[in-house]
Amino acid sequence: MTAFSRIVLLTIITAAHAATVVYDFNVSWAAASPDGLAKRQVIGINQQWPPPRIDAQVGDRLIVNLLNSLGDQDTSLHFHGLFMNGSTHMDGSSMVTQCPIPPGASFTYNFTIDQPGTYWYHSHAQGQYPDGLRGPLIIHDPKTPFQYDQELVLTVSDWYHEPMSVLQPRFMSKYNPTGAEPIPNAALMNDTQNLTIPMIPERTYSFRMANIGAFAGQYIWIEGHNMTIVEMDGVYVHPTETSMIYLSAAQRCSFLVKAKRETSRNFPMIASMDTTLFDTTPPSLNPNVTSYLLYNNTAPLPTPSPLDSFTPLDDTHLHPRDNLGILPLPDQAITLNISMSNLASGANYAFFNNITYVAPLVPTLYTVLSSPNSSSFELTANAQIYGTYTHPYILPHHSIIQLVLNNLDTGRHPFHLHGHNFQVLHRSGPDEGPWWSTSSNLNEPSYNHTIKAPPMRRDTLLVEPNGNAVLRFRADNPGVWLFHCHIEWHMISGLAATFVEAPSILQRTLQVPEDHFSACKRKDGKGKDIPVQGNAAGRGQSSDADPKEWLVLDGQPCPPGELHSGFTRGGVVALAISCLTGLLGVVVVGWYGFSEPAAAVGNEKKESGENVSESGVYSEKSKSVGNNGAEAAPASGKKKLDVAASGLLTDVMIRRGTEAVESQAVSFGSEEEAVNAVGKGMDGNGKKRLGGGSWEGKGHGC
């Protein structure tokens, strides 16, 4: 295949004024096999896959008209890394800033771009984007501070052969109690493999690279070439040379590469998935994807040389080109402890401070806009109305926020903040434990000596296993913003929190277009309309509702209950019945064993000297001898009574065993719930949680 079929070489033309850039996206199913091993259904745009790249320029107005033609799935688009200043309703997070877009509905994203850099867009609904709905988004800068001859845009990603409709239920299942994430089947570069990139000697190339994968971080290097890093997550940095970079899921960077003068050979460019994230690595998995810098069409494409270890650049050592110093001491400090554990359904969930995210009944932004806010009853800044399981924090306008992340898990996590980037004040190595600061010395940061001023800024940061990080940002962008792990499996299992920033200002200034509210109406009759007013439980929708109703969260969506530390009531009953049945069985066996032997069965058999048991099995002649040595006469009906008793007890044991199971099934509603130990009301009247804040049906209360 030719390089030009997969990679576009862009000539940047400086515009005299801002433009309006319009994209019409018909989101629909397509078929693809990017690794050549398994053709499958994927989510494409305008009947094509991979989806197109979005290109715009600083100052442009970007309009994306989206039509959902999937037929069987809701969707949305999030423009990853763009701050959406003054446009939080365009952020694209389902049930956070909008309703998910139902099949057949249209939705318009319309916002102005004021930040250059390398970004990407993807679905932010129901763990959907690993099915293919993602692509690069490049914001060009006419005043770029770096000189280069040509720009290349590359993506790296992991890839699955099975759709998310199969993988998600398997992942969030009692049969996966450890929470082992599905292992990707392949690695891709520009949604293909064996890509060739033509090189012109001594030219300087600007590579824009984004990891648009669902799970795996990627180590990236080019044999025989160094890379000069000039941008990370949309932040220009002082040029820093390295031989290898690491991009977690959702991270981006730009680097310059100087082409060689000599053209006798070609060079491999490798991206290798971070297999330390995987619970197991299948022997058949090739974690690498290789492309080639093509200097000579007639020369062979070389096999990459093996590496003994990975030594990527530490991104916290980079310094922003604007030299912005450390932000002032924080006005608000938030500590988030990351953990994984099982809930009563048996599945494994992810937690911030023992809270796993569940989407509300009303999109959080719409709760902000519809909440009572008067001198007599001001609720907009009351976190309670946004629900327990959205894990909300209220951020005052222009306050300095410090986030302390304590990763109590044994895996790496890339955390992403919507609406902002943040300064990285500290990141520990693996296994260094939680951040040691206390609330008293957070405002006296004796750790300043560890900060490489000016500190690095970005919107997605990798936190090491059993490690910690300290982040800081200014709350200068009123809106509703998610903070979450960008491993999509962990987003599905609930590793997210909600920052409600300057809600009173938001309520006074934001106008939501009518087509956004129209997306909340389910016109196909396959589901209930999503309310656009009220608290997280949908209460307070009526204009004459008592404002106190907003503080009532009965009926809010919630996760399964906690696992019981001991036996459930049904378990105690079942154990008691089992023990009683066992004891009765022992008593009966003992009684039967110590009972008197059977007497002779008839005069004819006596005369013949044969002894035949009542069961009809031949045995040696035996006699029961009494105290006087004479043959004992059988008690009338004694043996018959023994057999009947034994048969009756066997029946009772069988019936009791069945009754025990039935008792559990009646107690829990179904046998499956009995096994899962999930009672009525634990996850909302027996409905299954679909993951990522999506539920079957509406109105599930705790």
DSSP 424-474: EEEE--TT--S----TTTTTS-GGGGG--SSPPEESEEEE-TT-EEEEEEE
Tell me what pLDDT residue 290 has.
98
Positive/negative CA dihedral, 139, 140, 143, 144 = positive
Structure tokens, 431: 């296994």
Q: CA torsion angle for 233, 239, 240, 241 (degrees, to 10)?
A: 110
Query: CA 543 → CA 313, 383, 385, 479, 652, distances in Å?
Result: 56, 21, 16, 24, 62
**Rounded distance, CA 338 to CA 355, Å?**
10
Query: In angstroms, rounded to a whole number, what is the distance separating the alpha carbons of residues 35 and 33?
Result: 6
Q: Is 604 exposed, middle or buried (0-12, 13-18, 19+ CB in 10 A)?
A: exposed
Alpha helices in 595-698 (DSSP H): 603-608, 638-668, 671-676
Q: Is the pLDDT of residue 684 over 80?
A: no
Please tell me the least confidently modeled range out of 48-62, 69-83, 637-651: 637-651
Kindly indicate the confidence band of residue 598, based on its pLDDT and cuts at 50, 70 and 90: low
What's the one-letter identity of residue 216?
A: A
Task: Look at residue 637 and tell me whether its pLDDT is greater than 50.
Answer: no
| Greatest distance between any 2 Cα atoms in the chain | 127
Tokens 């300064």: give the residue.
423
Distance CA 529, CA 522 (A): 5
Any idea how long the chain is? 702
* The two structure tokens encoding residue 94: 């389902």
pLDDT at 355 over 60: yes
| Separation between Cα atoms, residue 195 and residue 191, nearest integer Å | 9
- For residue 516, the surrounding DSSP H or E stretch is helix 514-518
Closest CA to 227 of 212, 214, 208, 211: 208
Mean residue pLDDT across the chain? 84
What does the block give as tokens for 183?
A: 């292992």
**Coil/strand/helix, residue 265:** coil
**pLDDT tens digit string along 63-87?**
999 999 999 999 999 999 999 999 9
Q: How far apart are CA 496 and CA 500, in angstroms?
A: 13
Tracing tokens 């862009």 back to the chain, one arrives at 10
Is the confidence at residue 10, as pLDDT, over 70? no
Q: Which residue has the tokens 């995210």?
A: 357
| Tokens linked to 487 | 């491993």
Pull the structure tokens for residue 419: 């609406």
The answer to whether residues 107 and 74 touch, using CB atoms and an 8 Å cutoff, is: no
C-alpha 428/C-alpha 468 separation (Å) is 5
Please, what's the b/e burial string for 81-110 (b: 16 or more CB within 10 A of its CB; e: otherwise)? bbbbbbbbbbbbbbbbbbbbbbbebebebb
Question: What is the pLDDT averaged over residues 545-551?
Answer: 87
Task: State the DSSP string of 377-402.
Answer: -B-TT-GGGG-STT-EEEE-TT-EEE
What's the half-sphere exposure (Cβ side, CA atoms, 13 Å) at 230? Answer: 19
579 vs 25: which has the higher pLDDT: 25
pLDDT digits over 505-533, tens only? 999 999 999 999 999 998 766 678 999 99
Q: Indicate the pLDDT class of residue 569, thresholds 50, 70 and 90.
A: confident
Long-range CB contacts for residues 549-554, cutoff 8 Å, separation at least 24: 550/371, 550/372, 550/379, 550/382, 550/385, 551/379, 551/382, 551/384, 551/385, 553/384, 553/387, 553/388, 553/702, 554/701, 554/702
Q: What are phi and psi of 210, to 5 degrees?
A: -135, 135
- Within 308-358, strands assigned E span 332-342, 348-352
pLDDT digits 0-9 by tens, 143-194: 999 999 999 999 999 999 999 999 999 999 999 999 999 999 999 999 999 9
| Choice among 37-41, 424-428, 577-581 with the minimum mean pLDDT | 577-581
Local confidence band at 692 (pLDDT 50, 70, 90 cut-offs):
very low
Confidence tier at 284 by pLDDT (50, 70, 90): very high
Query: In whole angstroms, what separates CA 627 from the centre of its chain?
Result: 81
